[in-house]
Structure 1
Amino acid sequence: MSHSQKIKTGLSGLSIIAGAVAWISPVQAQENVPTPKAMAEFRVCLAKAKPGTECGQPVYDACQAAHDQPDTTLSITECTMTTHKAWDIILNERYRAVIAASPPNLKLKLQKAQRAWIVSRDADCAAVYEAYIDGTIRGPLYAGCMVEKTSERVRWLKDMGEE
């Protein structure tokens, strides 16, 4: 097989793999957004939270209650990703606030750090997904990774903004 044939075969294989991943990726399972009530409870919890407090539970519970098939692997993945969406909303709000309050040199460093963090988070969670590719647990584990990494980053940004 020539070098160009190997490349074409490799690209065909990659597109098949990419298509399969896109088809089963928990991120694309459903574009749920937190309900306004659950998001309000989430915000109240975050405002009062002590370290280690799990504030995402109201978002997750509201999603499960509204789901047509609660407590299934699919709903667990979807509702965990809905919880991730809630954390992501807060992350973006805190990021914008920290950037707005930062001097120019710090802004540039924070922007670079945020871009690198996104790449790292996505790679870490993709590795979790890949590690469990043969099992249905991969979706919930991937979603849980996204929640964990994003909530950690929210706390980091909160600390940055309190200086």
Structure 2
Amino acid sequence: MTHALPRFALCAAMLTPTAFGLSAMPALAQQDRGVNCEGAYKPSEMNICAARAYDAADADLNAQWDLTYPAMADYPGAKRTLLKAQRAWLNYRDAQCDVMAAPYDGGSLHQLVISNCLAQLTRSRTEQLRQLLGDDDGPGPKG
């Protein structure tokens, strides 16, 4: 894989629960803060914008995790199961994005495809975690 190690590796080692976000391209995202993503057309600009989109999705995921994970405390085994599911989801996400980008390996679109995939799957997971909170009656599926 071409992206950085997940932040969760250190947290998991300390047994500290987090949403385990992955900083796919922090150096790229910081290369040029002056890029206008609405008008980006160069591959380097598109990569920077995709990295920004992923960073935003990752921040949203972590914020949602901080709400969802503690809410599972009232349900026996739910926190442990959610943590296990989150770790499995991270493995799935990374592998899925690698598969999606495989046809572009070595090309200028490779990192762009990975970043877009990471952002899309991360936004989807954030919504799944949000749905676990349910309605005002507490955690659980919305009904």
Q: Do these two structures clear the TM 0.5 threshold for a shared fold by scoring above it?
A: yes
Q: TM-score interval w.r.t. the shorter chain?
A: 0.5 to 0.7
Task: Give the partner amino acid of 1:77.
Answer: N
Q: Which runs of 5+ in 2 are unaligned?
A: 4-23, 135-139
Q: Which runs of 5+ in 1 are unaligned?
A: 1-17, 33-61
Match of 2:100 in 1: 128
Is 1:146 matched with 2:105?
A: no
Specify the SS of the correspondent of 1:127. helix
Asked which structure has the greater CA Rg, the reply is 1
- Describe the shift of the 1:85–1:28 C-alpha distance in structure 2 as closer, same or farther (beyond 3 A): closer
User: Deviation of residue 71 (structure 1)?
Assistant: 2.3
User: Deviation of residue 127 (structure 1)?
Assistant: 1.8
Q: Distance in 1 between matches of 2:103 and 2:34?
A: 27
Match of 1:65 in 2: 36
- Describe the shift of the 1:27–1:126 C-alpha distance in structure 2 as closer, same or farther (beyond 3 A): farther
Q: Distance in 2 between matches of 1:157 and 1:77?
A: 27
Among 57, 76, 81, the residue aligned to 2:51:
81
Q: Distance in 1 between matches of 2:34 and 2:94?
A: 23
Conserved 8 A contact 1:77-1:140: yes
Is 1:97 matched with 2:95?
A: no
Q: TM-score, normalization: structure 1? A: 0.59
Q: RMSD over aligned Cα, in angstroms?
A: 2.5
Q: TM-score, normalization: structure 2? A: 0.66
User: Deviation of residue 138 (structure 1)?
Assistant: 1.6
Task: Give the partner amino acid of 1:89.
Answer: A
Conserved 8 A contact 1:64-1:71: no
Identity over aligned pairs, percent: 24
Specify the SS of the correspondent of 1:102. helix
